[in-house]
Amino acid sequence: MPPRKYEWISCINFRWKLYLRDGVWYGDGRPRRGRYSLGTSDPEKARRLLSELDAAVARREQNQKTNQATEKNQPIGIQEGWERFIENGNRPGFLLGHSPATTKKYRLMQRRTSDYFFKRDIRWWNQLTEQQLVEYGKFFDGKLSPRSIHHEIVMLISVANWLIRERLLPPENRLYLRLRKPEGSEAFCYSESQVTAILNHCCSRPKLRQLGMLCHLLSHTGMRLGEALALEWEDVNFSQGFITVRDESFSNQPSASRRRVKDKCTRQIPIAKSLRELLQRSKPKSSSGLVFRSSSGRPLLQNNLREQFRDQVITPLAKLMPRNQRKAFSSGRFHTFRHYFVSQCFIKGVNEGTIRSWLGHSDSRILELYRHLAEKDSQRLMQKLNFTGKAKSE
């Protein structure tokens, strides 16, 4: 009786399909263990070789499990843990991935924390304790803002907890540390006269006129610098009186060309009268393309603009300021216009919900970081209040 062309054989470790193909016997353990040629046409020899194959595959799988267990028990370095955490966030926005700006911030934290702990001979995440986090905060107190220190300690705790969830760190290495979130803001805010001086300084110098228009836009809309530089003329609707700040995180365009907003939400901002007139005068015949661009039509670089603003606007104007204002004014940057915009909106009586919609913030607590009330404005608002009605004259 001729041998069967295939049969199922249960060996010591696994069950295999033994079959004949083109005169050669094969052992098939798919889908998990693959298919192997036994290199013989003799059925009895094929069975002996299949037993040897079964033992070899079992040894290999056991070695793999041992290696995986050993790898899981290996301590993970501070630098490597950060790297895995950042790489995990490298995915599209609809999958809750990190934005390029967030990734950049995490990279900065990765370098700073890794350098700090390396110099103190703390190389592994399982060496981190709550006391180490306290020492980290004490070291950078006075070197970084309280808000930055708070954020970095919170991120260290978050990365450690993520490593535990991914089974890269034992659960006993979970970190607990009670923190008080810093309230308010010590950031400098321009005064109305200082913004006027900046705009006049730029407009009176032909080489700075585009920079002046940018400052005018930022101070009258509260937009971030990146949002302003990504603005296109099609986003400026003069007939309806709105500027649209577009978020294209979930569009079908290539990822590199998408415009992104920090809060991932498109919003509209009304155009103030003086800004409308300036934009209409500056609008080219072609109604497309970027509002702010180089003479060759290319996008402007943020770092170059920041350097130009600091060296050609802030530094020379600081010398003209009263002595007690020079140091504070010298710290002014493009983002300071956002603080100025919010403060002016509050002073002029714009309600909080409207300001949040213009800024693109859903959390009202964020506005507290931007609101600055000068002493004279505080006094003026107080004088408007009437607590008792019209008092009778004595």
- Residue 93: which CATH number? 1.10.150
Residues 38 and 136 both lie in one domain? no
36 near 21, Cβ under 8 Å?
A: no
| Number of structural domains found in the chain | 3
Separation in Å, CA 301 to CA 93, 208, 234, 290: 24, 15, 21, 13
Q: Which pLDDT value is given to residue 2?
A: 47
Separation in Å, CA 277 to CA 92, 151, 242, 313, 344: 39, 41, 13, 23, 20
Q: Give the N- to C-terminal CA distance of the chain in Å, as an integer.
A: 130
Count CB-CB contacts under 10 A for residue 336: 22
pLDDT band at 393 (very low <50, low <70, confident <90, very high): very low
Q: Which pLDDT value is given to residue 97?
A: 79
Q: Which pLDDT value is given to residue 314?
A: 95
- Structural domain contains residue 393: no
Evaluate if residue 171 carries a pLDDT over 80.
yes
Range from 8-12, 347-351, 382-386 that averages highest in pLDDT? 8-12
- Measured on CA atoms in the order 331, 337, 342, 348, is the torsion positive or negative? positive
- Structural domain contains residue 386: no
Alpha helices in the chain (DSSP H): 43-73, 78-88, 100-119, 130-140, 146-165, 192-203, 209-221, 225-229, 273-282, 302-309, 315-318, 326-330, 336-347, 352-359, 364-370, 375-384
- Structural domain contains residue 201: yes
Q: Which pLDDT value is given to residue 347?
A: 83
* 335 half-sphere exposure, CB direction, 13 A CA radius: 7
Per residue in 195-238, pLDDT tens? 999 999 999 999 999 999 999 999 999 999 999 999 999 999 99
155 near 137, Cβ under 8 Å?
A: no
Domain C-terminal end among 73, 88, 121: 73
Query: Please, which residues bridge with residue 232 across strands?
Result: 290
Residues 208 and 280 both lie in one domain? yes
- Structural domain contains residue 268: yes
Query: Please, which residues bridge with residue 20 across strands?
Result: 25
Provide the token pair at 264. Answer: 């991932």
DSSP, collapsed to helix, strand or coil, labels residue 320 as: coil
Evaluate if residue 1 carries a pLDDT over 50.
no
What are the strands of the beta sheet with 15-21, ordered from one edge?
A: 6-10, 15-21, 24-28, 35-37
Which range marks the domain in which residue 140 is found? Answer: 78-173
Per residue in 85-133, pLDDT tens? 999 988 876 677 788 888 999 999 999 999 999 999 999 999 999 999 9
Separation in Å, CA 240 to CA 104, 156, 232, 270, 343: 37, 47, 16, 9, 26
Residues 370 and 337: their CA atoms lie apart, in Å, by: 10
- CB neighbours of 251 closer than 8 A, spacing ≥ 6? 258
- Structural domain contains residue 389: no
Residues 280 and 296: their CA atoms lie apart, in Å, by: 21
Residues 249 and 202 both lie in one domain? yes
Q: What is the pTM of this model?
A: 0.66
Domain C-terminal end among 73, 89, 112: 73
Residues 202 and 220: their CA atoms lie apart, in Å, by: 16
Average pLDDT over residues 370-388: 62
Domain C-terminal end among 46, 73, 100: 73
Residues 300 and 326 both lie in one domain? yes
Instruction: Output the domain CATH number for residue 258.
Output: 1.10.443.10
Residues 26 and 167 both lie in one domain? no
